[in-house]
Chain A
């Protein structure tokens, strides 16, 4: 794939070059907020600080940060490049599965070796592998280690898989789709079909990833089995915050330069961009694959905090929710995606977790658990109809007012 103009120094040289951060003040603001938030959570956490924030809340916040990361990836692919992918959660899930395989295998291997070593004669390697397989797959009525688990014991290999499998899948899928000029609604449906196929595939027991059961116990990290969850949760919170910060910076940089202009132009009128001599399909493919890789990383950080991953996680509906977050937060601006993800997920936690008081009218009682989805659905329709810029549009309004 070629990105002719993005590396052409001539095109950039004449304009007085201002720094990236000066051009994008929102990045600084975002970084500051994220840093402050991380500090506050750490200080108040159970594992590191005063204990005002429970371990389960720290985990929820850490997971929310991972969701923000995939939300900004979604924003880049949809809000900036105009590809409404309804399948990005598939990449998120693959990242989770890749790291989950190592977590399960390595933890089980420690248990198995410990147990077999207690016997009178030392175990053979085949015996260890067999016992690990029986432990992992015994619960789904099998006892053989599937082929895809061959290198599950190697952390570097599985980490590479976190990046490579989503990347390759996106590359192949995108290449096929963009090559035959599938666009618009068709492409959305096709990406949805992709995530559906993947989730149906993973639902099968024969796939070798434990079918509907998925991979569980992921919160126990091999090598850190003695570290209490209260501390581990803060570690993962930090890692998620760092990943979100880095991801934000990276995407802000990607969309701010000439490359960003080209992909925005593709979103607005791909035919003109093509006639200007750009390789539209190449750009699209690059953005699609890049965001898939970032989604995979977000998933790899999310699932050790959630503790379990199963195929239901990547059902088509999850990816649609992703689009909803971005739309509500405001497309075409990275902080909009973050706002959308945080607002919707925390609001939903509050309303469905029993935090919000139910309203009693006497003749009818509004139970938020029942009505939250109705509210979300209708709210979403209203946002699409009347506030196409989402919550992020409010910032424009404020900025304009100031000026």
Chain B
């Protein structure tokens, strides 16, 4: 861009100068290379095309020399700031220049050497595996870095790529460390490394035992690594290996699997499978017969075996291994699992330490699931409560409720595109979403639902008509692409109890929001004039009307309130998931379930319904973690059955209000 401001002649001059410089440099002899470049050229290919397996060669070569700038080079290499020129294979640093060109800098002096197009040199992009290796090699230099942040980063590197050689480096750094937090972390890492790598049994066992009851991931990772096993077999029970378990054939290990292991080791002939038998027979068809059996009879396994036996006797195929053969072979051997770690004292200690964490882990996992269920329940509650109060007061099912959720979410999206600060936009979006959905709800009530109070089933259909119209309108306006609502940074992280239980802040915020609305609704319904009137209309509209309450006004306000809450729910859902025109439809059926299971017209009923459905879904997911879809199916089935037994929901209205 800048170049375009220069007069044309100057640009030409620069270009010419560069050209000359390039030619001059290319002509320069390789002997002029600096020490670092020289070292790098000995491992040119490994630097230019870094791979995890070859990076140690580069590291060894570089760290063996005392070439100045080698550490800077390694850091720059990892940060993808090194370029290679295909013509001569030399390495450079580079700086962006105008017109997508690069200024090449010498890796020793930092002097500007050349200006080239981005396609004339290749940026070297080491992958994450290579970068981890580089970081691990730099650990011993960075542990002594004056910046605490650098030292912390180095410690994380140690945690990720543990290595026995790091123990002395860590001990040395620990002696110098004055930050107590970092020092504690160093001690812990030393302990973990010792447990895994220390040479003598006693220190290791002590280190392992100190991990007993530790539920952190890194401690259990070390313990599990110590307890890794391999499956093997021997003629007699092995004495010299660190045995984990003996396997019984038919129980812990299948007969065919066991035999296959023996066959793989070459002790017995492999068992010809179905296809092998068929192919062998195919290959030995002679004059329409195989081993004396006519070909057309070979459409059963019995006949095929008979023919195969005949071939086997003639010696032209490998033997057919029968069940009895396999059993006989397998019975001569013992199958077992052995620890890779040869020292039984260490594995026993590790086993004991791991077992000691089991109860605590289950408890924490249960807590984690409970938190997830609570979070899900609060989302269902927010989505459904509006529906519940409108249904309770007006006996009207609003199929467009989901679209009010969507409206709220899109309001949030629009606000976010207008206001750059995520926090401010969220603060603006919540009341605005409420307002937009409130207005939409009230106008829908006035224009459509008011005329259909005597025909509840038709309200259901009319609101469905509004729902498809709104959905399509949203598509026309916002397009079909899912839009993200980005949470502000203070809501973006997670609250971490320990390595097992953590819950994202946004979910906690949604939970708090749901709680606030619960309290607000309870207050409005139980403590205000409006609430009294709403309850009166809920219980008996006719009687309420004759007491001077205007059911019309109450209906309108309730509907607006219910829709407004849906709008707020939309912002909440958009924050943790995505905003699409179909998001309302995704929540509407679940909202219905929540209302129906909980019992209509009751805040506590909806709360119970949301709690039950949330807990149920998470519970089923826990038992069947591989298939989330199955959890949803079973949940719906459960709800269908549940309604058989409590058709009015968990919290059923009593007395006259119960009549429909």
> Do chains A and B directly touch (beta carbons under 8 Å) in the complex?
yes
Instruction: Judge whether B91 is part of the interface by a CB distance below 8 angstroms.
Output: no
**A374 near B476 (CB under 8 angstroms)?**
yes
Instruction: Judge whether B465 is part of the interface by a CB distance below 8 angstroms.
Output: yes
**A194 near B640 (CB under 8 angstroms)?**
yes
Do A380 and B629 form a contact, CB below 8 Å, given A182-B647, A186-B643? no
Within 8 Å by CB of B585, from A119, A181, A317, A323, lies A317
Which A residues lie within 8 Å of B468 (CB)? 373-374, 376-377, 380
Taking the closest CB of chain A, its distance from the CB of B469, in whole angstroms, is 3
Beta-carbon contacts of A152-195 to B below 8 Å, as 1s and 0s?
00000000000000000000010011011111111011101110
**A200 near B636 (CB under 8 angstroms)?**
yes
**B282 near A121 (CB under 8 angstroms)?**
yes
Give the distance in Å from the alpha carbon of A317 to the alpha carbon of B471 in the complex.
13
Taking the closest CB of chain A, its distance from the CB of B446, in whole angstroms, is 13
9-residue interface stretch from B29-37, B44-52, B588-596: B588-596
Instruction: Judge whether A26 is part of the interface by a CB distance below 8 angstroms.
Output: no
Which B residues lie within 8 Å of A127 (CB)? 274, 278
Q: Which of A203, A204, A374, A377 has the most CB of B within 10 A?
A: A377
**B589 near A196 (CB under 8 angstroms)?**
yes
Q: Which of B282, B461, B462, B467 has the most CB of A within 10 A?
A: B461
Do A121 and B472 form a contact, CB below 8 Å, given A181-B647, A200-B636? no
Give the distance in Å from the alpha carbon of A296 to the alpha carbon of B41 in the complex.
76
9-residue interface stretch from B118-126, B160-168, B449-457, B562-570: B449-457
Residue in chain A with minimal CB distance to B391 = A185
Taking the closest CB of chain A, its distance from the CB of B622, in whole angstroms, is 18
Give the distance in Å from the alpha carbon of A327 to the alpha carbon of B452 in the complex.
15
9-residue interface stretch from B207-215, B225-233, B298-306: B298-306
Give the distance in Å from the alpha carbon of A185 to the alpha carbon of B388 in the complex.
13
**B632 near A200 (CB under 8 angstroms)?**
yes
Residue in chain A with minimal CB distance to B630 = A204
Do A204 and B299 form a contact, CB below 8 Å, given A192-B589, A381-B466, A384-B461? no
Give the distance in Å from the alpha carbon of A243 to the alpha carbon of B94 in the complex.
77
Give the distance in Å from the alpha carbon of A375 to the alpha carbon of B462 in the complex.
13
Taking the closest CB of chain B, its distance from the CB of A314, in whole angstroms, is 13
Residues facing A in B428-451 (CB within 8 A) are 448, 451
Which A residues lie within 8 Å of B221 (CB)? none
Give the distance in Å from the alpha carbon of A385 to the alpha carbon of B461 in the complex.
10
Do A197 and B636 form a contact, CB below 8 Å, given A323-B461, A374-B473? yes
Residue in chain A with minimal CB distance to B632 = A200
Chain A: residues with Cβ within 8 Å of the partner, total of 55
Instruction: Judge whether A324 is part of the interface by a CB distance below 8 angstroms.
Output: yes
Beta-carbon contacts of A198-215 to B below 8 Å, as 1s and 0s?
001101101000000000
Beta-carbon contacts of B259-282 to A below 8 Å, as 1s and 0s?
000000000000000100010011
Which A residues lie within 8 Å of B643 (CB)? 180, 182, 186, 190
Which B residues lie within 8 Å of A196 (CB)? 589, 636
Residue in chain B with minimal CB distance to A384 = B462
Instruction: Judge whether A388 is part of the interface by a CB distance below 8 angstroms.
Output: yes
Which A residues lie within 8 Å of B278 (CB)? 121, 127
Do A120 and B282 form a contact, CB below 8 Å, given A186-B647, A204-B630? yes
Give the distance in Å from the alpha carbon of A184 to the alpha carbon of B596 in the complex.
13
Give the distance in Å from the alpha carbon of A317 to the alpha carbon of B464 in the complex.
10
Give the distance in Å from the alpha carbon of A239 to the alpha carbon of B49 in the complex.
67
Beta-carbon contacts of A356-395 to B below 8 Å, as 1s and 0s?
0000000000000011111111111100110010000000
Beta-carbon contacts of A308-328 to B below 8 Å, as 1s and 0s?
000000001100100110010
Do A124 and B460 form a contact, CB below 8 Å, given A180-B647, A197-B636, A377-B467? no
Instruction: Judge whether B458 is part of the interface by a CB distance below 8 angstroms.
Output: yes
Which B residues lie within 8 Å of A176 (CB)? 640-641, 644
**A185 near B458 (CB under 8 angstroms)?**
no
Taking the closest CB of chain B, its distance from the CB of A182, in whole angstroms, is 5
Do A381 and B462 form a contact, CB below 8 Å, given A122-B299, A183-B660, A197-B640? yes
Chain B: residues with Cβ within 8 Å of the partner, total of 59
Which A residues lie within 8 Å of B456 (CB)? 184-185
Which B residues lie within 8 Å of A185 (CB)? 391, 395, 397, 456-457, 460
Which A residues lie within 8 Å of B301 (CB)? 124, 126
Instruction: Judge whether A123 is part of the interface by a CB distance below 8 angstroms.
Output: yes
Residue in chain A with minimal CB distance to B448 = A381
Instruction: Judge whether B633 is part of the interface by a CB distance below 8 angstroms.
Output: yes
Give the distance in Å from the alpha carbon of A182 to the alpha carbon of B660 in the complex.
11
Do A201 and B633 form a contact, CB below 8 Å, given A122-B295, A385-B451? yes
**B471 near A373 (CB under 8 angstroms)?**
yes
Give the distance in Å from the alpha carbon of A197 to the alpha carbon of B282 in the complex.
49
Give the distance in Å from the alpha carbon of A96 to the alpha carbon of B467 in the complex.
29
Beta-carbon contacts of B371-410 to A below 8 Å, as 1s and 0s?
0000000000000000000010001010100000000000
Which A residues lie within 8 Å of B448 (CB)? 381, 385
Instruction: Judge whether A84 is part of the interface by a CB distance below 8 angstroms.
Output: yes
Residue in chain A with minimal CB distance to B585 = A317
Which A residues lie within 8 Å of B550 (CB)? none
Residue in chain A with minimal CB distance to B285 = A120
Taking the closest CB of chain B, its distance from the CB of A149, in whole angstroms, is 20
Give the distance in Å from the alpha carbon of A177 to the alpha carbon of B433 in the complex.
38
Instruction: Judge whether B529 is part of the interface by a CB distance below 8 angstroms.
Output: no
Instruction: Judge whether B637 is part of the interface by a CB distance below 8 angstroms.
Output: yes
Q: Which of A119, A196, A204 has the most CB of B within 10 A?
A: A196
Which B residues lie within 8 Å of A206 (CB)? 627, 630
Give the distance in Å from the alpha carbon of A371 to the alpha carbon of B468 in the complex.
11
Give the distance in Å from the alpha carbon of A371 to the alpha carbon of B630 in the complex.
36
**B458 near A388 (CB under 8 angstroms)?**
yes
Instruction: Judge whether B657 is part of the interface by a CB distance below 8 angstroms.
Output: no
Which A residues lie within 8 Å of B461 (CB)? 323-324, 327, 380, 384
Within 8 Å by CB of B281, from A121, A123, A201, A384, lies A121
Instruction: Judge whether B2 is part of the interface by a CB distance below 8 angstroms.
Output: no
Instruction: Judge whether B656 is part of the interface by a CB distance below 8 angstroms.
Output: no
Residue in chain A with minimal CB distance to B660 = A184
**B660 near A377 (CB under 8 angstroms)?**
no
Which A residues lie within 8 Å of B8 (CB)? none
Instruction: Judge whether B296 is part of the interface by a CB distance below 8 angstroms.
Output: yes
Within 8 Å by CB of B465, from A182, A183, A384, lies A384
Residue in chain A with minimal CB distance to B648 = A186
Give the distance in Å from the alpha carbon of A121 to the alpha carbon of B476 in the complex.
62
Do A370 and B589 form a contact, CB below 8 Å, given A189-B596, A200-B633, A324-B465? no
Give the distance in Å from the alpha carbon of A124 to the alpha carbon of B632 in the complex.
41
4 closest A-B pairs by CB:
A377-B469, A380-B465, A373-B472, A197-B636
A–B pairs, 6, beta carbons within 8 Å:
A127-B278, A177-B644, A182-B647, A197-B633, A375-B469, A377-B468
